[in-house]
Amino acid sequence: MSRGPVLAGLVLAVPVAIAISLRFGAVGLGWSGVWEGLSGNGDPIAVAITRDLRLPRAVLAALVGGALGLAGATFQALLRNPLADPYVLGVSGGAAVGAVLAIGAGWAGVAGWSVPVSAFAGAALAIALVLRIATNVEQRLDVRVLLLSGVVAGTFFNACILLALSFQETEAFRAAVFWMMGGLGGASWRSVWMLALALGGASIVLLGLARSFDLIAHGEETAGFLGVPVQRVRLLAYLTASLLTAGAVVAAGGIGFVGLFVPHTVRLVWGGGHRFLLPATLLVGAAFLPLADTVARVITAPAEVPLGVITAFVGVPFFVLVLRRQTRRAQA
Amino acid sequence: MNGPPDRGGRSQETCLEAFSPLLSFAGGMRREVGWPGLHRLSASAGRLFFGFSQGGVLTTSRLLSIVAASTLLLASCNRPQRPAAEQSDAAPVVRAQRVVSLVPSMTDAIVALDATDRLVGRTRYDTAPEVADLPSVGGGLDPSLEALIALEPDLVIGWESAEYRGLRSRLEAGGIGFHAASIEDTTDVFRSLDELGMLLDLSDRAARLSAAVRESLAVVSTAGLRHPKPTVFYALLGAPPRTAGRRTFVGQLIEIAGGIPAFAELYNGWPEVSLEAVLAAQPDVIVVPADDSATNVADAFTKKPGWRDLRAVREGRIVVIPTHLLNRPGPHLGSVARTLHEALVEAWGPAP
């Protein structure tokens, strides 16, 4: 199948997913109720539910899914390692620690942007730390060492978060604990705009690097010979992917596996170079997460299942599948 | 309540999930994170605590095992109350002289029974002047076993909670009696007062105290509110929020104070209710446990998406009750009911 129609189809899939997410919830509104609510001339309760609760949440879910998918595809391209994703690499953990520290230190009240900035710093530090550990052990980047480094860094961030939790009796850290409970429940237009901005900028940068990613896929040395400024591309891409991860973590807390299996699905189903893979990953992530969130909101309504549970239920079998395929390919 | 009385970590979460009913008022948790917090913690546990650290399959299997375990425990929590007789079997000591109560509402009860001199320790949540000078043993759910044993108590009163793991058996092996308290509704409060009376050999005083509490509840319940009675939503903030089931002491206090719990069909525990459902129900009054000033709390509500569309929020019918009043189902139940009633009168109007 040619790539153009696929992308066009995926572009359509995102609004469809958002529409489905708008349609279902704890209160049954029906399509007409949702439509009247959105247009603002329905029952005031329907208006409040659709405009104030469901719409920002669905849009935020789409943005978070897109950001995590794109970040995952970028890490996988850079590391030429299909198991890399922001979550496994400990980058989400770094972002979470950054955000918790900012909230715990009380900066959140002083400046609204301090939390995302601090989360971004945490994410960037995390990936730097992981790469550093991995390259310190062996001169060249070994996949297994890299994943181990991710686990090591993640364990450290885990400890930082537990430490923060033990301070929860102070006012600021209680706020941090609340934040960590995250999820998409607190979606607001402010977080939507913030993440939309980050995702927009990051997409432009990463799409511009797509050609270099294709060459890097054949090996960094080869790419270097072909005129790709490998170090600069890597630095820029790591920073951009960390920014996306931080944005997603600030908006919704840690949601695992989206960055892992969305790029894989795209690669397995359609294959293709990064000029297709990156936008397709973004769109599939953006369509997947609102649907996952709909399931999370509906299956135990009026209570909610944490979104991470739903993504893990889809993601874990997928992770196993990928591992098996890899092993088989290696054996063949 | 507050957060898990303590340090994060897996055990805590499991307990939070599992013993939501208990924890919801776990007296200790004075400086509340609110207990939705607690609950959500378990969710983030999977995501943050383990996810970030372990990554991969391990993580998820761990998350799933937590979910599964919590479900089982929750199920066990929901079983019908055990008959009182059976409960008192669990009380091996009569006329205890050296008591440590890990349950703040029971500590309150001991003070109210004028038996403060029998207390030899407290938890870090017990800060009332009568007990503040006693040595602390740590949190109510994760006390230091060493500190407990060093106090040489003959009776430890704790939650009916799997969270203690080895604690209870170790205490009993050392000849220290353990009484498990399980308090969810007002009936449980009176039953636990009876039990406490037997344990301390102060049954007469306990009976008088019970009678006094019942009397003050009766006084409040005859006062009533403006008709029609308001529907009252007790909001433990979170996303989604939680409320008090009708068969919890908070649900019952709302009825005693003259209101009708919104979501009257929810009986047990502290269920989550989606904000959408709250919007559809449009409760007349919202009761929020918080230690902030009423104006600040009301202000925060008018800014929150969804909440600001509630009529009760727009028309300012938000009642703020200090958290420590609504998480200690003990001898002060009567005065708590009165406080709640007065606040509801102010928000809704007195009975004709």
CB atoms B53 and A169 under 8 Å? no
More confident: A280 or B14: A280
Q: Do A181 and B282 touch (CB under 8 A)?
A: no
CATH number for position B312 = 3.40.50.1980
CA distance A152 to chain B (A): 7
Cβ contacts of B46 on chain A, cutoff 8 Å: 306, 308-309, 312
DSSP state of B324: G
pLDDT at A175: 65
Domain count, chain A: 1
Q: What does the pLDDT average to over B124-153?
A: 89
Question: What residues in A contact B60, CB-CB < 8 Å?
Answer: 256, 312, 315-316
CA dihedral B6, B8, B11, B12 (to 10 degrees): 50
Looking at the predicted structure, is the pLDDT value of residue B121 above 90?
yes
Name the DSSP letter for residue B240: S
Residues of B in contact with A45 (CB under 8 A): 279-280, 282, 309
Name the band, by pLDDT with cuts 50, 70 and 90, for residue B47.
very low
Side-chain half-sphere CA neighbours of A152 within 13 A: 14
Position B210 in a domain: no
Asked whether the ipTM of the predicted complex exceeds the cut of 0.85, the reply is no
Per the prediction, chain B carries an average pLDDT of 76
Print the domain residue range for B89.
84-201
Q: Is residue B208 part of a domain?
A: no
The C-alpha atoms of residue B183 and residue B252 are separated, in whole angstroms, by 13
Give how far Cα A47 sits from Cα of A40, A41, A191, Å: 6, 8, 20
What is d(CA A203, CA A82) in angstroms, rounded to the nearest whole number? 20
**Is B230 in the same domain as B328?**
yes
In contact, B259 and B285? CB cutoff 8 Å: yes
Residue A29 banded pLDDT, cuts 50, 70, 90: confident
Q: What distance separates the 2 farthest-apart alpha carbons in chain B?
A: 64
CB A181 within 8 A of CB B41: yes
Chain A nearest C-alpha distance from B60 (Å): 7
Partner residue opposite B276 with nearest CB, options A27, A177, A320: A27
| Distance separating alpha carbons of residues A225 and A209, to the nearest angstrom | 17
Searching chain A, which residue's CA lies closest to the CA of residue B44? A181
**Which has more confidence, A245 or A137?**
A245
Pair B140, B25: CB distance under 8 Å: no
pLDDT value of residue B209:
96
Whether B324 and B252 share a structural domain:
yes
Q: Indicate whether B32 pLDDT > 90.
A: no
Which of B33, B44, B61 comes nearest A174 by C-beta? B33
- Give pTM, 2 decimals: 0.77
The answer to the question of residue B301 being in a domain is yes
Contact B222, B334 (CB under 8 A): no
Q: Do B274 and A183 touch (CB under 8 A)?
A: no
Residue that terminates a domain, selected from B28, B55, B77:
B77
pLDDT at B71: 36
Q: Angle, nearest 10°, between helix axes A274-298 and A307-331?
A: 140
Which strands sit side by side in the sheet containing B231-234, from one edge to the other? Answer: B260-261, B231-234, B285-289, B318-321
Q: For the purposes of burial, counting CB atoms within 10 Å of the CB of A191, is it exposed (0-12), middle (13-18) or buried (19 or more)?
A: buried
Radius of gyration of chain A (CA): 20
> Do B258 and B183 sit in the same domain of this protein?
no
Q: Residue B24: pLDDT above 60? A: no
**Cβ neighbours around A156 below 10 Å, total:** 17
Q: What is the pLDDT of residue A173?
A: 66
Pick the residue from chain A with its C-alpha nearest to B35: A178
- Residue A174: the pLDDT is 63
- What pLDDT sits at residue B315? 93
Percent with pLDDT over 70 in chain A? 90
Compute the average pLDDT of residues A206-228: 88
For residue A308, pLDDT over 90 is answered with no
Q: How open is the CA angle A255-A256-A259, to the nearest 5 degrees?
A: 105
pLDDT for position A287: 96
Of B165, B133, B203, give the one whose Cα is nearest residue B10. Answer: B165
How are beta strands B119-121 and B99-101 bridged, if at all? Answer: parallel
DSSP secondary structure string for all residues of A134-174: HHHHSSS--HHHHHHHHHHHHHHHHHHHHHHHHTTTSHHHH
From A38-42, A279-283, B16-20, the region with the lowest mean pLDDT: B16-20
Per-residue model confidence as pLDDT tens digits over B241-286: 889 999 999 999 999 999 999 998 888 888 888 899 999 999 999 9
Gap between the Cα atoms of B156 and B166, Å rounded: 14
Domain end among B20, B44, B77: B77
Average pLDDT (B50-69) is 34
Extract the tokens encoding B343. 């606040």
Please give the residue range of the domain that contains residue A107. 3-331
Evaluate whether A293 touches A61 at the Cβ level (below 8 Å): yes
- Asked if residue B283 lies in contact with residue B313, where contact means CB atoms within 8 angstroms, the answer is no
Q: Is residue B2 part of a domain?
A: no
Is the same domain home to B67 and B96? no
Q: How confident is the model at residue B7 (pLDDT cuts 50, 70, 90)?
A: very low
SS3 A319: helix
> How far is B185 from chain A, CA to nearest CA, in Å?
22
Query: B129 and B38, same structural domain?
Result: no
The pLDDT of residue A302 is above 90: no
Please identify, among B169, B201, B233, the residue that sits at the C-terminal boundary of a domain. Answer: B201
Say whether both B337 and B267 belong to one domain: yes
Whether B274 and A52 lie within 8 Å, measured CB to CB: no
Q: Please judge whether B37 and A297 are an interchain contact, meaning their C-beta atoms are less than 8 angstroms apart.
A: no
Instruction: Considering only the beta carbons, identify the residue of B33, B57, B280 that sits closest to A168.
Output: B33
Residues 6+ apart with CB under 8 A from B334: B212, B213, B215, B216, B217, B219, B220
Residue B300 within a domain: yes
Q: Are residues B232 and B327 both part of a single domain?
A: yes
Q: What is the mean pLDDT of chain A?
A: 85
Domain count, chain B: 3
Q: Answer whether residue B165 is part of any domain.
A: yes
Question: Which residue did the predictor score with more confidence, A231 or A60?
Answer: A60
Mean pLDDT of all residues in B179-203: 93
Residue-wise pLDDT for A109-152, tens only, equals: 666 678 888 999 999 999 888 888 887 766 666 777 888 888 88
φ, ψ of residue B242 in degrees (nearest 5):
-115, 160
Instruction: Based on the fold, state whether residues B248 and B290 are members of the same structural domain.
Output: yes
Same domain, B54 and B101: no
Question: Among partner residues A89, A96, A151, which is closest to B54 by beta-carbon distance?
Answer: A151
CB A95 within 8 A of CB A122: yes
CATH of the domain at A46: 1.10.3470.10
